[in-house]
Amino acid sequence: MNLTRYGAAGFATALLLTGCGSDSPDSSGTSAPSTALSGTVAVGAPITDGTLRVLDATGTVVASGIAVHENGTYTIPELTGAAPFRIEACGYAGANYLCIYSVTQGPGTANVTPLTTATVLLASGQAPADLMDGSNTALSATAVNGAQVTLRNGLASVLAAGNVPASFDFVGGTLDAGSRTGYDKVLDAIGVNTGVDQSKPFVQITPRLGTGNLYLEQGVQVGTLTAAAGAGSLSLGGLETLFRNMSAAFASSAACSNATTGIEASLASTARISSEDGESLSGPADVATGLCTMFAEQEMFGSKLLSPTLGRCDLTGANPVCRVSFVIQGLDGGVQPVGQGMGVTQEAGAWKFVGDLDGIGVHASAKAQRDVRLDGDTPVYSYSRAIAFDIPAVTGVACARITQRDHDGHDVTIAYYKRFATGTVRRLSLWQENGYSNTRSLDPNVGALRSADDTWVALPEGTFGDDVVRNFFRGGRSVTVTTYSDASCDTPFAAGGLPNASFEVEVEGVPPLWAAMQNMPWPELTPAARLNLLAFSLAANAEADFTAAWTFPRGPLGLNGSTFCTDRARCGQDDIGRIGEGRVSAAATSATVHLRNGSTALAAGDYKMLALYGRTADGVDLQANAIVCAPGTVECH
């Protein structure tokens, strides 16, 4: 790739020229400018099931429903309207359904990536999703150039490790999605997230092949990123080959168990898979048998493994070890994660699947929930947010401490978890102030356990909860888990074959700041669906279909499931209060849930809850509950 380096003034001019596209001769022998717009949509891996739309400066939609091909490319034959043009591309990256953004001053090349999303935010000073409506001229070539300079300065070490020129154009530069080289490797090497804090849009960039944390607002930079030693020489291209081979092995039971090309051929010598109770399978042969059995039991054969998104990599050992997404697309087109905390390593220069990387398979994820009461004259809304820490109750572990880094790099305790004394204990439970509250205790010697399998840390309204959220923005999106052998949390204990008692866990998503809760992409039931829920009744032991429809007034959400419950306290999986459930695709705006009622008739005024589940672009699990209940009953309190 032959790229010319420019000084500050010359590069601004070059950006204006790169939007013109290639020329073709006309009948007079001169060159006529192309009117096409094309580019690549990628997050390192290409996005799956992607579509793209374009708005011009006046807010006119000049292209919509443009398909993003499997290799990430798109083409718009003719771009019309007034510059600058705003671009939005939505699809799956791993298990998350997201929208990313870009800008162009005219026909030519316009890539759409997390870094062009960051460019749009820093150039405009606005959240990118907010720009996709109405007229806007904030994204001038000068503003876009300035935003790219800011990003390139903050990413200098990462660009150098990716062998990408320091003057690289994130919008118009060469991008080969899934190649894991050049610009694509830079996207692999970082995680890019955007948000709004105290009315100020920001960009947060975390490293996957290095250290640090980069926080940017217009005119503000906090922190920096440093590429890891060995990041430049690390070859990631074989990841695509590995996942294609694994997909082929998951085509059928016979393919999975084939002695030569089956799943065992893709497994590392250190492969291991853990169950919820901490038991594990080790070695390629046993892990292969376990995976084939799981795919058979879950009827997942024939599914396709999506191109993996990269997590953190450890390059300090003899062989690199990287976390990766492990997500399938089923025959029905639905997308779902198969496992958490999965990883790969290189053996003899070839990438192999390890399975569980952690001796203890801790899963950390952000949650946000909204309830809408529909039985009054006007809807009544309430919100909650939490972080869930699923910590297997493995032998020898009596306590776990969860800490995060604040903006100064100091460790701050989020919570303690301990082993519940009675019943079946699969996970450690949150240490609470008492056995009745939902408030965490930060003193390991004062408090109580409420129940077994109590994993959610509720974050209160306002500043106290927001402090935890802001630490993730400015201190990095991971926590440190330290395990102990005693209930007083005094004696560190290395469990599960780990070299020490403390280890780092990435958090899927970050809970919203309280001020942002209302503006999350909650699905809104249509007026007809609300009336349907209010009036719905079902006789004892009867079956029926319930159909709901909704809109997304604040941007798309990757929906993946729904449930219908007649008792909130008994709404768990396979519990008697849950009378229906179903899968929902991200693109759907309606669903039909088949209901099987129990022995108690459901009247129109009885308690009913329709829940829609989804996941935001950065991995926050959202649950939107539409509720009908008789005022004055226990369920309505």
* 152: number of Cβ within 10 Å: 19
Burial tier of 254 (Cβ tally within 10 Å: 0-12, 13-18, 19+)? exposed
Q: Give CA angle at 636 (635, 637), nearest 5°.
A: 95
Is the pLDDT assigned to residue 174 strictly greater than 60? yes
Q: What is the pLDDT of residues 371-425, one digit of tens each?
A: 999 988 889 999 999 999 999 888 899 999 999 998 888 899 999 999 998 777 8
* DSSP E strands, 137-209: 190-197, 200-207
Please write the tens of the pLDDT for every residue from 592-620.
999 999 999 999 989 999 999 988 877 89
Position 585 scores a pLDDT of 78
Distance of CA 502 to the CA centre of its chain: 25
Distances (CA, A) of 22 to 2, 18, 102: 17, 9, 20
Which ranges of 392-492 would DSSP assign to H, the alpha helix?
Answer: 463-475
Q: Are residues 419 and 483 in the same domain?
A: yes
CATH code of 620's domain: 2.60.40.10
Q: Are 57 and 135 in contact (CB under 8 A)?
A: yes
Under the banding of pLDDT at 50, 70 and 90, the label for residue 105 is very high
Does the pLDDT at position 15 exceed 70?
no
CA 62 to each of CA 84, 113, 168, 539, 598: distance values in angstroms, whole numbers, following the listed order:
12, 20, 28, 51, 52
Is 515 a member of any domain? no
pLDDT in tens, 288-317: 999 999 999 988 999 999 999 998 899 998
256 and 195 together in one domain: no
Q: Tens of pLDDT along 61-90?
A: 999 999 999 999 999 999 999 999 999 999
Percentage of the chain with pLDDT > 90?
A: 63
Residue 469 lies in a domain: yes
Residue 631's pLDDT is: 66
The more confidently predicted of residues 10 and 284 is 284
Give yes or no for residue 9 having a pLDDT over 60.
Answer: no
Same domain? 335 vs 421: no
How many other β-carbons are positioned within 10 Å of the β-carbon of residue 166?
A: 11
Residue 229 located in a structural domain: no
Confidence label for 636 from pLDDT (cuts 50, 70 and 90): low
Let me know whether 495 and 527 are in one domain: no
| DSSP 8-state symbol, 444 | T
| CA-based torsion, 122, 123, 124, 128: positive or negative | negative
Amino acid identity for residue 511 in this structure: P
pLDDT tens for residues 436-468? 878 899 999 999 998 887 899 999 888 889 999
Q: Which of 510, 545, 568 is the last residue before a domain boundary? A: 510
Q: Is the pLDDT of residue 21 over 60?
A: no
Rounded-to-integer distance, Cα 489 and Cα 491, Å: 6
pLDDT number for residue 435? 80
Q: What is the pLDDT of residue 13?
A: 29
The answer to whether residue 245 sits within a structural domain is yes
The conformation of residue 285, written as its DSSP 8-state character, comes to: H
Q: Going by DSSP bridges, is the β-strand pair 543-551/478-484 parallel, antiparallel, or unpaired?
A: unpaired
Listed residue (462, 481, 366) closest to 413, CA to CA:
481
**119 or 223, higher pLDDT:** 119
Tell me the average pLDDT across 91-113: 92
> The CATH number of the domain where 267 resides is what?
3.10.450
Same domain for 245 and 326: yes
Domain that holds residue 560: 521-636
Q: Are residues 569 and 499 in the same domain?
A: no
- DSSP string for 531-566: HHHHH--B-TT-EEEEEEEEE-TTS--EEEEEEEES
- 243-292 pLDDT, tens digit per residue, is 999 999 999 999 999 999 999 999 999 999 876 555 678 999 999 999 99
Residues 441 and 546 both lie in one domain: no
Quick one: pLDDT at residue 618? 79
pLDDT at 19: 35
User: CB 60: neighbour CB atoms within 10 A?
Assistant: 12
Task: Report the pLDDT value the prediction gives residue 159, as an integer from 0 to 100.
Answer: 96
Domain boundary residue, one of 307, 323, 356: 356
Residues 543 and 504 both lie in one domain: no
How many CA within 13 A on the CB side of residue 269? 5
Percentage of the chain modeled with pLDDT above 70: 92
Q: Domain containing 168 — which CATH number?
A: 2.60.40.1120
Mean pLDDT, to the nearest integer, of 558-581?
Answer: 88
| Whether 526 and 505 share a structural domain | no
Give the model confidence (pLDDT) of 31-63 as tens digits: 446 799 999 999 988 888 899 999 999 999 999
Band (623; pLDDT cuts 50, 70, 90): very high
Q: Looking at residue 633, what is its pLDDT? A: 60
Instruction: State residue 634's pLDDT score.
Output: 54
Judged against a pLDDT cut of 50, whether residue 10 lies above it is answered with no
Give the span between the Cα atoms of 310 and 304, in whole angstroms: 18
Domain boundary among 510, 532, 549: 510
Question: In the numeric block, which tokens belong to residue 144?
Answer: 């876009």
The per-residue pLDDT for range 574-597, each reduced to its tens digit, is 788 999 999 887 778 999 999 999
| 376 within domain boundaries | no
Q: Say which residue, 5 or 562, is predicted with more confidence.
A: 562
Has residue 543 been placed in a domain?
Answer: yes
pLDDT tens column, 496-516 = 767 789 988 888 889 999 998
Is the backbone peptide bond immediately before 308 cis, with ω within 30 degrees of 0? no
Q: Which amino acid is at 239?
A: L
Mean model confidence pLDDT for the chain: 88
**Is 142 found in the same domain as 59?**
yes
Residue corresponding to tokens 């952690």: 358
Using DSSP, state whether 379 is helix, strand or coil: coil
Cα of first residue to Cα of last residue in the chain, in angstroms, is 65
Report if residue 142 sits inside a domain.
yes
Residue 632 has a pLDDT of: 59
Residues 436 and 295 in one domain: no
Q: Is residue 120 part of a domain?
A: yes
Whether residues 587 and 485 share a domain: the answer is no
What distance in Å separates the CA atoms of residue 73 and residue 51, rounded to the nearest whole number?
11
**Tally of domains in the chain:** 4
